[in-house]
Amino acid sequence: MSGDPIVDRRVARTQAAIRQALIALIEEGGFDALTVSDITARADINRGTFYLHYRDKYDLLEQTQAEIIGHIERIFLEGAPLRLEDLNSPDRPLPVIVKMFEYLRENSALMHAIVGLKGDVALQTRIKQAIERNLELGALTGGRPPTFLVPGEYLIAYLLSAHFGVVQTWLERGCVESAREMAQVLTRLSLGGPLYAMGIGRSDS
């Protein structure tokens, strides 16, 4: 950004228009079929303006994915660390998970377009790297990296597949549940486990 508020707002508006065009075109025909010309026509800008911000459509997608991951990482890094009572309360949604789903809901059109890309492994790779970084930093445990009881590669694979699948299904369903309801779903699955979520071994007394 230049530091000039007027220029900054103009840049932000242009990037927002490009982002909205990307979302619409992915939803209509998929990422592979769209071109820079399609994006500039939909965003009502010229090609020169597009190339001031992005090298090509792949750079646009890559920057968009990086922004999504960066925002979600900040949510976890800035969230309060887990407490012992949190681990013993799978029916109480974790605040940091609520914030994550609030962000996903606020950007549901973008998330649906990006997460729904078939055959695109770049986002899943970025998410995997983000999980690894957060585990190393101990983002949820107050800066204390946890001691794994299973090999880290399997833990990360489980977290990636399970959490990504939940988010993807929610987006495909049109974000029917609220952010808090989804946070409770993910908290129950994460802290209680699948059997707990199925009601097996749970005592309501």
Residues 77 and 4 in one domain: no
What amino acid is encoded at 2 in this protein?
Answer: S
* Distance, CA of 43 to CA of 62 (rounded, Å): 19
Residues 117 and 91 in one domain: yes
**The predicted structure's pLDDT at residue 110:** 92
Residues 97 and 76 in one domain: yes
- Residue 154 structure tokens: 């399997």
Residues 156 and 86 in one domain: yes
**The predicted structure's pLDDT at residue 34:** 94
CATH of the domain at 2: 1.10.10.60
Statement: residue 205 has pLDDT above 50: no
Q: Which residue pairs, CB below 8 angstroms and at least 24 apart, start in 182-188?
A: 182/101, 183/93, 183/94, 183/97, 183/98, 183/100, 183/101, 184/91, 184/92, 184/93, 186/93, 186/97, 186/101, 187/90, 187/91, 187/92, 187/93, 187/94, 187/97, 188/90, 188/91
Statement: residue 140 has pLDDT above 70: no
* Distance, CA of 29 to CA of 146 (rounded, Å): 43
Q: What angle do CA 71, 76, 81 make, to 5 degrees?
A: 160
* Distance, CA of 10 to CA of 2 (rounded, Å): 11
Within a domain: residue 24?
yes
Residues 183 and 134 in one domain: yes
Within a domain: residue 179?
yes
Residues 91 and 124 in one domain: yes
Number of Cα atoms under 13 Å in the Cβ half of residue 164 = 19
Residues 64 and 48 in one domain: no
Average pLDDT, the chain: 84
Domain that holds residue 185: 60-197
Within a domain: residue 202?
no
Per-state percent for the chain, helix, strand, coil, to nearest 5? 70, 0, 30
Within a domain: residue 204?
no
- Residue 91 structure tokens: 């029916």
- 198 band by pLDDT with thresholds 50, 70 and 90: confident
How many domains would you assign to the chain?
A: 2
Residues 164 and 65 in one domain: yes
Residues 70 and 26 in one domain: no
31 neighbors 112 (Cβ within 8 angstroms): no
Q: What is the pLDDT of residues 81-118, one digit of tens each?
A: 777 677 778 888 888 899 999 999 999 999 999 887 75
* Distance, CA of 180 to CA of 199 (rounded, Å): 20
Helix or strand (DSSP H, E) at 60: helix 57-78
Report pTM: 0.81
